[in-house]
Structure 1
Amino acid sequence: MKQYDEYQKLMRYKYGYYSFIYLISLLGLNYLLGLFFNLQWGATKETEMLIIMFVVVIFFTNISVYHNAYFRKKDDKKVYSWLLLIVGLFSLYTTYQTFLIMLEEIMINGKINEGATRFLSGSLLVSIPITYFIKNKIDKKIEIKEQ
């Protein structure tokens, strides 16, 4: 954490706390749905928990990127963003190709299977640069209005 300034540390701790509360809430809701309604939306309970964790990781990562707390102070954010975008798009493309061949990787008997985690990991990688570029556009518009 030495490579982050105080503001970045504060934002990471703040949104880490919010992400933890979000995770506990989603896991509790999933437990209650299974307990009272006997609802299982994933192929296994482990798959359900993995997908919930991916959703929370995507939330934390994007909120950190938006508040300039994801990249370290000395990182070249633009280069990293383009690299993540390329790797994420490649990941989504290979996931798409896999699903064309074996649809049961994503859905099995109407329930989400573990193959969906590949889609979520690709989505995570693509969402980082998208959030970064949107934040830059917003900052530039605010800068222009202030002048």
Structure 2
Amino acid sequence: MKQYDEYQKLMRYKYGYYSFIYLISLLALNYILGLFFNFQWGASKETEMLIIMFVVAIFFANISVYHNAYFRKKDDKKGYSWLLLIVGLLGLYTTYQTFLVRPEEIMINGKINEGATQFFSGILFVSIPITYFIKNKIDEKRERKEG
């Protein structure tokens, strides 16, 4: 954390706390759905937990990127963003190929299977650069408006 300034640390702690509350809430909701309504949306409880963790990770990464707290000050943000976009698109393409060849890896009997974690991983990697590029456009527009 030495390479982050005080604002970045504050934002990471703040949204890390929000992410933790979000994680606890989703886990509790999932538990209640299973306990009282006997509802299981994943092929296994482990898959459900993994998907919930991916959703929270996507939330934390994107909110941190939007508040300039994801990348360190000296990082090549644009270069990392392009790299993450390529990795994410490859992950989504691989998920698509898996779905075409063996759809039961993604969905089985109407429930999300373990293959969907690859989809959420791709979404995570794609969402970071998208959020970064949107944030840059908003900042540029705001600077032109003020200047």
Q: Which runs of 5+ in 2 are unaligned?
A: none
Tell me the distance in 2 between the aligned counterparts of 1:43 and 1:60. 25
In 2: Cα distance, 1:90 partner to 1:113 partner: 20
Aligned-pair CA distance for 1:60: 0.1
Percent pairwise identity: 86
* 1:64 corresponds to 2:64: yes
2:125 paired with 1:137 = no
Instruction: Give the AA of the match of 1:28.
Output: A
In structure 2, the residue matched to 1:98 is 98
Shift of 1:87: 1.1
CA distance in structure 2 between the aligned counterparts of 1:92 and 1:36, rounded to whole angstroms: 35
Q: What amino acid is aligned across from residue 131 of structure 2 in structure 1?
A: T
For 1:146, the equivalent position in structure 2 comes to: 146
3-state SS of 1:50 partner: helix
| C-alpha deviation, 1:119, in angstroms | 0.2
Q: Which amino acid aligns with 2:97?
A: Q
Equivalenced residues, count: 147
Q: Is 1:42 aligned to residue 42 of structure 2? A: yes
1:1-147 equivalence runs, <5 A? 1-147=1-147
Task: Give the TM-score normalised by structure 1.
Answer: 0.99
CA offsets, 1:85-112, max 9 Å, x none?
1111111111111110000001111111
Q: Which runs of 5+ in 1 are unaligned?
A: none
Aligned Cα root-mean-square deviation (Å): 0.5
Q: Which consecutive segments of 4 or more residues in structure 1 shift more than 3 A? A: none
* SS of the residue 2:30 aligns to: helix
Amino acid at match of 2:107: M
